[in-house]
Amino acid sequence: MDNRNGMLHIATTHTQAKYFLPEPISKFREKYPGIKIYIEQSSPGNLINLLHHHKADIAVCTEKMDEDEKLMIKPCYQWHHIAVVPKGHPLIDKDITLERLATFPILTYSKGFTGRSNIERAFDNAGIELDITLAAADSDVIKTYVRLGFGVGIIAGTSYEPDIDSDLVALDLAHLIPPSTTKFAYLKQSYLPSYARYFVEQLQTSSVKTGVNSPANYSATLVLN
């Protein structure tokens, strides 16, 4: 009965909701068209709280998925950051280093969002000060201000859309910033109906099918160093 008229509550961030979840949710909808889907977008720090307060069945995000004995936490897919710049930008001409990046104003994610900790860690380990002039939780906001000339955007590689972002050049940063892993979690003691377990399976297989962790998928304008 729950497979015909149940509800699935997904807690996640903007980046995952827009760039990763459409495929697994589409697959889910094909198999369970009668299930209502609710997507709760929030900060990574609040996603776990939503699980503990039974306001979400499954949480999907990159940051703040720390060890929690009450949660089942599993890796979903791995991805890298890229730099996005307008065409003709000086960074395109030579190999990118952290030192070169640091000479430009940086636009990237707010603390606690979408691998921000890995960005900071890379610069800290190199002893280079990171000048972040604009921080946002939304990849689209960052790209908007890159277009306005505010600086160099550092975003998730999966956030680059070739058709929409053809005016920007994506520069691979896999050799400079450690990879990030998006995970999903649910309460160990919670009962997951069969349709929710099917969705979990899609979270683990969609990344393999789409190759979201492959730099080659960013676009034809991706510059690999």
Q: Quickly list DSSP for 98-142.
A: HHHHTTS-EEEEPTTSTTHHHHHHHHHHTT----EEEEES-HHHH
Rounded to the nearest integer, the mean pLDDT of the chain is 87
Task: Show the tokens assigned to 137.
Answer: 């939780």
**CATH of 79-172 given 3.30.70.270, 3.40.190.10, 3.30.559.10, 3.90.1530.10:** 3.40.190.10
**CATH of 2-78+181-213 given 3.20.190.10, 3.40.190.10, 3.40.50.800, 2.90.10.10:** 3.40.190.10
pLDDT tens digit sequence for 147-197:
999 999 999 999 999 999 999 999 999 999 999 999 999 999 888 899 999
Residue 200 pLDDT? 94
Q: Say if 2-78+181-213 and 79-172 have the same CATH topology.
A: yes
- For the cut 90, the answer to whether the pLDDT of residue 224 exceeds it is no
Kind of pairing between the strands at 58-61 and 180-187: antiparallel
Average of per-residue pLDDT across 133-139? 93
Domain-by-domain residue ranges, the chain?
A: 2-78+181-213, 79-172
Residue 113 pLDDT? 87
Measured torsion, CA atoms of residues 25, 108, 112, 172, in degrees rounded to the nearest 10: 70
Residue 4 pLDDT? 67
Residue 66 pLDDT? 75
pTM: 0.84
Average of per-residue pLDDT across 95-107? 95
